[in-house]
A and B are shown apart, each in its own frame.
Chain A
Amino acid sequence: MKVSTEKEYERIKKAIAGDNEAFRQLVDHYKDHSLSVIRSILKDPIRSEDVLQDAFMKVYKNLSTFRFDASFSSWLYRIMVNTSYNELRKNKKYTAFYIENINKILVEQNELKLNDQRKFINRVLDTMKPDEALVLRLHYLSELKIKEIEEITGFKSSKIKVDLHRGRNNFHYKLEKILGKDINYLL
C-alpha cells in the first residue's frame, strides 16, 4: 500500500503541473482504500462510488493547496471523510432505510455457505455505526495510527479509542451472531 514519499511527492508535483497521467497514478493507488473509507460512512455501495468520484474531483481541484510537509494519504483521506459526512448529512433517511434492508439480507444469508467472505465482512461493517466502522477500517485496513486517524477524522483520540473498542466488540458480536461457528472460516 505505501509508496515512497519522494516518489509520491514527485507524482503530486507533476499532477499540479497538469500531468493527468501522474494524477491517474495517484487515483489508482488510493481508490480502493478510499472507497472502503467512504463505504464505512455511507453504507451504500453504489452511492459510495459516486461520492468517491466527487471526492477525487475535490482532490484534483485542491491539489495545489497540499503542503508537502504533511502526509498526502492523511490529506486525501480527510477529503474523503469530509465529503462522505457531508453526503451522509444530506441523505440521512436513505441511509437508515438501507441499513434495515441489509439486516434482512443478512438474515437470509445466514443459511448460505461462506463463498464470499468479503461480502459478509462488508455487510457486517455496513450495519455498524459510521464512526465505528470508519475507525476500524482506518486502523486495521489502512493500518493507520491513532494520531493519523485523529488528523483525518477530526475526532479526539479518546473518542477514537472508545470507537475502536466498541467497534471491535460490535464487529465480533455481529459476525458471530450471523455466522455462528462458521466464523472460524474467516480466521
Chain B
Amino acid sequence: MNEEHLKKVLQKSKIETSKDFTDNLMRRIDLESQNAIQNSIGISFKRLLILCGCLIVIIGLLTFRLVGTKMGQIPTEGKNIIAPSLVLVFGIVLYSLNNFIRTIELSLK
C-alpha cells in the first residue's frame, strides 16, 4: 500500500460525533457558567457579611469613642472631627447596604 492509498483509506476513518453533541456541550457550558456566577455570588455574599460585621464593630468603636458613653448626647459643637467622621461612617454603611441589596437581587435572578 503506497502513501496515496494509505491516505485515501485513512481519510475514510473520520468519525462523526453524535448529532446532539454540540447542543449537549453548549448546555453544559451554560450550566457551568451559571454555577460559576452563583459561586461568585456566594463568595461576595460571604465577603459582604464579613465587611458589614467589621464595619459595625468599627462604627460601634468610633461612635463610642467620639460620642462618649452617653449615646443620647451627641456633641456636635466643640469637636470638629466628630461630624465629618460620622458622615464618613454613615456613607460607608449606606454603600455596603447598597452592595448587599444588589448581591441579594443578583442571587435571586
Contacts and interface: CB of A to CB of B under 8 A. Distances in A.
A122 interface: yes
B13 interface: yes
Interface residues of A, number: 34
Contact of A49 (B13, B18, B30): B18
Interface stretch (B19-27, B63-71, B83-91, B100-108): B19-27
Residue among B7, B10, B17, B32 with max Cβ neighbours from chain A (10 Å): B10
Interface string A24-53: 100110011101100100000100110011
Contacts of A36: 13-15
Contact of A56 (B5, B8, B11, B25): B25
Interface in B7-59: 7-18, 21-22, 24-26, 28-30, 32
B12 A35 contact: no
B81 interface: no
A39 B22 contact: no
A172 B12 CA distance: 15
Contacts of A23: 26, 29
B10 A141 contact: yes
Interface in A118-139: 118, 121-122, 125, 136-137
B22 A168 contact: no
A187 interface: yes
Contact of B14 (A32, A171, A175): A32
CB-CB nearest 3 A-B residue pairs = A140-B10, A121-B13, A172-B1
Interface of B: 1, 5-18, 21-22, 24-26, 28-30, 32
14 contacts: A24-B22, A28-B22, A31-B17, A32-B16, A35-B16, A53-B24, A56-B25, A57-B25, A57-B32, A118-B12, A121-B13, A140-B7, A187-B5, A187-B9
Given A60-B29, A172-B1, 12 more contacts: A20-B26, A24-B26, A27-B22, A27-B25, A32-B14, A32-B15, A35-B16, A36-B15, A122-B15, A140-B6, A186-B8, A187-B5
